Structure 1
Amino acid sequence: MTTTTPAAFARTVRGSGPGLLLAHGAGGGIEANYGPVMEALAARHTVVGVDYPGTGATPKAQGPLEIDGLVDQLVAAADSEGLDTFAVSGYSLGGPVAIRLAARHPERVSSLVLSATFAHADTRTSLAASIWQQLFEAGRHTLLAQYLNLMALSEPLLNSLTPAEIHAAAEQLAPALPAGTGDQVDLVRRVDVRSDLAGIAVPALVVVTTADPLISPTLQRELAAALPTAEVAELPTGHLPFAERPQEWAELIGDFLARNRAR
């Protein structure tokens, strides 16, 4: 079920049980980033996610995105669904969103799952995001889709495909790029939640995507090292665990959340 109301982000709600909020990545969406694992997550949780401006049925923003605005909309969605407390799963850009949410609402967050993510963009990530944004805003969407295949897929998966298959995949992806991609990738370059990490006290799982060309494993491990409660799980995938290793990713998330409910 997906709904939208004026001044609110389009919302996806699935399942029943303890609350689980989802924060998606830049240029993605709840369905794009969590669709392949949604059934597994919703089997044991009331799953609530929102699409950022310019994704799905959420209108494009009129100005730059701010992380606190994304947090406010995610909390508002939880309120509308009657969730007083909840775990939060953040993927890629959704990681900083989840971290800021936990910092601002510590009494409501039961645990965090942070996958393929970062607390700030280092020089390499900022450069990759800059190229991504420029290609999108220049309308070179097929070339951007090829670039995203290069920057998101693990080397083994990329090399298992022929150049013709990569080109075909890019042709298919290009028209599906969300209208808000440029705004969301701009936030990737600006966001910095490092000062929030030390104060987070809830259990946290950092899923490091060890073959990730976009968000380096080094940057992911830096986040984990600065988060006092973090445990680390490594997943041998590129930046798209939902595409390359969906079952293993779902099991990591589900098992962690189940362990923390049992404590």
Structure 2
Amino acid sequence: MVLPGLDGGGEWLHEFLAAMAPRFDARALAYPNDPTLDYDALVEWAWPQLPAHEPFALIAESFSGPVAIRLAARRPLQLKALALCASFACAPRPPWSPLGLAALPAWLLHAAPLRQAPLPWVERAVLGRWSDPQRRERLRATLAALDPAVLRARLGEVARVDARAALGDVAVPTLYLRAAGDRLVSADSWEEIRRVRPQAECVALQGPHFLLQARAKDAAAQIGRWLAASMKDLAN
């Protein structure tokens, strides 16, 4: 089960989901477009949708890392693995800033209209050198569909989040897929996860923050190999 990034939808995950098949039946959840749903509420919303009668893994992109961590900490019976992609357990620090998002003033985090930020700036931040006309158009459509109130609320949640205690309660194998060209989440996020959960594994893949979009096939291959090895280890 794949939990989406800040946009909350699974529309731009189709290539990654297809690359996971046929070995894995990967499905994406799409969050309700509701600005009142904070991290706690999203955990409660997602919990009853987890498979109850078949083994599954949680794959969380960026924003959804804390949701997946808190779900995994509840130890659902059929959960076998957790994979975090370009994500974080607590408020991340961009590579270009010495400060985390929590240090930014509230007025900046809630500035509007965020979805109307210049496309070239957003493109550089999330796609970098992996941008192309097709991805630019998809990014444009994603930004146009975002509710500014939802986006502001989720950015505020990211700035305050701390799921490290829950991470310590996770009992399944954990993978961190790091985007080596990430301009939004620094390597500090992986280091913090490793500090809390030393058993976690990290795989670095050349790519931007939108790793599951820009490097869909390679990301699926890395996660698929790790899942297959983890399942084999659990069976032994």
TM bucket by the smaller chain? 0.7 to 0.9
Compared CA separation, residues 200 and 176, structure 1 to 2 (3 A): same
Query: TM-score, normalised on structure 1?
Result: 0.73
- The counterpart of 1:175, out of the listed 144, 147, 154, is 144
Q: Select the structure that is richer in strand.
A: 1
Distance, in Å, in 1 between the alignment partners of 2:105 and 2:61 is 16
Quote the offset at 1:131 in angstroms. 8.1
Secondary structure at 2:110's aligned position in 1?
Answer: helix
Distance, in Å, in 2 between the alignment partners of 1:129 and 1:51 is 29
1:76 aligns with 2:14: no
Secondary structure at 1:206's aligned position in 2?
Answer: strand
Distance, in Å, in 1 between the alignment partners of 2:226 and 2:74 is 23
Instruction: Report if aligned partners of 1:200, 1:228 keep a CA contact under 8 Å in 2.
Output: no
Q: Describe how 1:1-263 pairs up with structure 2 within 5 A.
A: 21-32=1-12, 34-54=13-33, 60-61=34-35, 63=36, 65-79=37-51, 82-122=52-92, 123-126=99-102, 133-135=109-111, 138-139=112-113, 141-143=115-117, 145-154=119-128, 156-157=129-130, 173-178=142-147, 180-263=150-233
Query: TM-score, normalised on structure 2?
Result: 0.81
Quote the offset at 1:35 in angstroms. 1.7
Distance, in Å, in 2 between the alignment partners of 1:169 and 1:84 is 33
1:187-236: per-residue Cα shift (whole Å, max 9, x none)? 21122101122222211111111111101122223223321320110011
Distance, in Å, in 2 between the alignment partners of 1:242 and 1:167 is 15
Quote the offset at 1:173 in angstroms. 4.9
Quote the offset at 1:68 in angstroms. 3.0
1:107-146: per-residue Cα shift (whole Å, max 9, x none)? 33211111101111143344689688534xx235332544
Distance, in Å, in 2 between the alignment partners of 1:129 and 1:110 is 39
Q: Which runs of 5+ in 2 are unaligned?
A: 93-98
Instruction: Report if aligned partners of 1:92, 1:117 keep a CA contact under 8 Å in 2.
Output: yes
Query: What's the Cα RMSD here?
Result: 3.1
Q: Which runs of 5+ in 1 are unaligned?
A: 1-20, 55-59
Instruction: Report if aligned partners of 2:7, 2:151 keep a CA contact under 8 Å in 1.
Output: yes
User: Which AA in structure 1 matches 2:71?
Assistant: L
Distance, in Å, in 1 between the alignment partners of 2:139 and 2:119 is 5
User: Which AA in structure 2 matches 1:226?
Assistant: V
Which 4+ stretches in 1 moved above 6 angstroms?
127-132, 165-170
Compared CA separation, residues 252 and 219, structure 1 to 2 (3 A): same
Secondary structure at 1:49's aligned position in 2?
Answer: coil
How many correspondences in the alignment? 226
Instruction: Report if aligned partners of 2:123, 2:136 keep a CA contact under 8 Å in 1.
Output: no
User: Which AA in structure 2 matches 1:107?
Assistant: L
- Aligned-residue identity in percent: 27
User: Relative CO higher for 1 or 2, CA cutoff 8 Å, sep ≥ 6?
Assistant: 2
Secondary structure at 1:90's aligned position in 2?
Answer: strand
